[in-house]
A = this chain, B = another copy of it.
Amino acid sequence: MGRPRAFDVDEALDRALRLFWRQGYEGTSLSDLTEELGINRPSLYAAFGNKEELFRKALERYVEHHLILYREAFAKPTAREAMEHLVLGLADAQTLPRGPRGCITVQGALVSGEAAAPIQKELAARRLAGEKAIRERLEQGQRDGDVPPHVDCADLARYINTVTQGMAVQAATGTSREDLRRVARMSLAAWPT
């Protein structure tokens, strides 16, 4: 009941996500947001709380979407194939034709002033969560016998995660999708034997 919303919440979140992704949390002002979303300020606050909550909700959508890629990759029969699918998928996701480049967990607030510290920490935690997921898939591979027993899965996971985060920086620099995919493939040459 009451007057119905004149905008679609999910579409607004997607637009906010893309803006935060492209300009970072600190680099995106509320004026940028209201202009991009076509929503005026009080409506935005009524729907999403404040700037920080809006970011968190947009981030949630991003993460949910990316979980699909991780699950898809981890379903591959071997850890090696899983990682290949993952890094190549991330290369694509970080160079979407009409999307911002890189990954919002990296570009969102790699560093920041004091005001944005909670967001910075949240993103760092998300990056660590990705690394943990990779490590667990590698450990599964070890149990399955397709990853040599002498391999330290934490180290290997950290390495793979580092490469994907470096790819996010490269994407921001303007590296093409093809070049990024080459980087992803080369990184797998370090795979233990």
Where the two chains meet, the residues of A that have a C-beta atom closer than 8 Å to any C-beta of B are: 21-24, 26-29, 32, 102, 106-107, 110-113, 116, 124, 127-128, 155-156, 158-159, 161-170, 172-175, 179, 182-183, 186-192
The oligomer's copy count stands at 2
Given the complex, which residues of B lie within 8 Å of A165, measured CB to CB? 165-166, 169-170
Q: Which residue of B lies closest to A167 (CB)?
A: B162
> Are A182 and B162 interface neighbours, CB within 8 A?
no
> Are A110 and B106 interface neighbours, CB within 8 A?
yes
> Are B158 and A170 interface neighbours, CB within 8 A?
yes
Task: Assess A189 versus B190: contact at CB under 8 Å? Given A27-B111, A106-B169, A113-B23.
Answer: yes
Given the complex, which residues of B lie within 8 Å of A159, measured CB to CB? 182-183, 186-187
